A and B are shown apart, each in its own frame.
Chain A
Amino acid sequence: MSDKVLMKGNEAIAEAAIMAGCRHYFGYPITPQTEIAAYMARRMPKIGGTFLQAESEVAAINMVYGAASAGVRVMTSSSSPGISLKSEGISYLAGADLPAVIVNAQRGGPGLGGIQPSQSDYFQATRGGGHGDYHMIVLAPASVQEMASLTIKAFDLADKWRTPCMILADGTTGQMMEPVSFDFDIAPAPEKPWALTGTQGKRAHNITNSLYLSPEELETHNFNRFKKYDEIMKTEPIAEEYKADDADIILVAFGIASRVSKNAVDEARGAGIKAGLIRPITLWPFPSDILFKHTEHARHFISVELSMGQLIEDVMLSTRCRRPVTLCNRAGGMIPVPSQILQAIQNVAANGGN
């Protein structure tokens, strides 16, 4: 027997966060991610950590701001409508250059929407979500194993770049159980000389702040932050390429949509169509170079998403309109079946890939 355990994606996130040294969790329940809060409520008191169910999402994210300011590893989680409530606080975290991990197990929207899985918060996540010029690093797990491994990575990236980092999951990846191994090498969190840890009378006091009334000063902060973003865009994009090297038709999909897409690629290959898949793992920074590289041989791209055409914009930008891009989607909590995606591939193939 292997050392793997069977666990829900949500629980894998919670366990991985604890392994990564997260001892502070602030949240507010919402389907389909409540297992994260439940797991934290069970575990945190036993390991000297803090689990706190706040009075609202707004309160929870501001508690995250406080803990992040104190230099500790901190996490919150929610689902789509709750993330909208947290967006103001996420903007403040970005504006104060504070590391924190935020999990969004997406459900259908807009509004209160539904509780079934969705990817329709793609724009919100990859464009920042709150107000002001900022980005956060966005990671998109496609398996329970990745729910764990990318959570650990999220804490590392958040600390490394002093930025909020989001795990963009969905109802399916949160609720499903798969075998998962927690055999990780955990790097210690870096020193945080900027943190508000008490001066002991030995140094000038630190401030975490996002308010700059002088436009010159605020502009400088924004320019500097975007230099950091340039570095992140250069060094951090990751994607999985599946049968993409010789593909005529390339699907682009992340998270649960990529799982269904993989089945469709295999079925298309079985039918003699050279299909492949690029699965962005970082949604911001988007792996644009990897997509662009494949415009050399691929004749057509298909964006497979659980939204009304959000990912497709990044596919178009990345391929610089060298190749046509088609949308294959479901929305509102529905998930495409492999045959729907296969049909989209066959339609493109029948048209000579054009």
Chain B
Amino acid sequence: MTTEYLFAGFGGQGLLFSGKVLAYKALIEDKFVSWLPSYGPEMRGGTANCSVIISDSPVGAPIITNPDVLVAMNLPSLDKYENAVKKGGMIIVDSSLIERKVKRDDVSVFYVPATDMASKSGSPTLANMILFGKMLKETGTLNEETLNAALGKCISARHKDMFDLNLNAVKIGCAE
């Protein structure tokens, strides 16, 4: 089985980071995985996205045309990728930042006011991890042990506080 994830939004929202945690989690679960960022003059404020492919067999092209799961953190990304999502796929929308609804009715859609929730939780920059938690829950891929290990690989041991904050944000997303 192969699942293709696309995380898309503005540069600086932490989408590449969520993708990396997902990829590491899959690696720890002994899956085949690829992670491909958009790169370029985008960095902060421009559009940024990253493609993660997780599979039981070696990954061919690391480029995604039709994702199974789309996590959208701004309107341009939803506009651009909504129709690319596979039929029966999933779209997770940060409804604090995207006012419109998803037009399709052949995909599952979850609206999470993640940016507002992140601000309320005291970590306004961790909306990405709230959406990530929601995604793990709805795709049935939550595994606390591998999640912890993956976060540990992506956050250096010197930043234990960041580890706790990220894990907490994922939990908020899971509870949503």
Contact = CB atoms under 8 A, between A and B. Distances in A.
A179 B27 contact: yes
B39 A259 contact: no
Interface residues of B, number: 23
B11 interface: no
A177 interface: yes
Contacts of A175: 36-37, 39
B40 A177 contact: no
B149 A1 contact: yes
A266 B41 CA distance: 35
Nearest to B52: A177
Interface in A1-21: 1-2, 4-6
B118 interface: no
Contacts of A2: 27, 30
Interface residues of A, number: 26
A164 interface: no
B54 to A, nearest CB: 11
Interface string A174-198: 0111110000000000000000000
A1 B30 contact: yes
Given A6-B153, A175-B39, A1 B34 contact: no
Chain B contact residues: helix, strand, loop or mixed: mixed
Contacts of B39: 31-32, 115, 171, 175
B70 interface: no
Contact of A177 (B23, B28, B30, B41): B23
Given A4-B27, A259-B62, A338-B61, 5 more contacts: A177-B20, A178-B62, A256-B62, A337-B61, A337-B63
- 8 closest A-B pairs by beta carbon, nearest first, are A263-B60, A177-B35, A260-B61, A176-B36, A262-B60, A259-B61, A179-B27, A1-B28
Interface of A: 1-2, 4-6, 31-32, 115-116, 171-172, 175-179, 256, 259-260, 262-263, 266, 335, 337-339
18 contacts: A1-B149, A2-B30, A5-B153, A6-B20, A6-B24, A31-B40, A115-B39, A115-B41, A172-B63, A175-B39, A176-B62, A177-B20, A256-B61, A259-B59, A259-B60, A259-B62, A338-B61, A338-B65
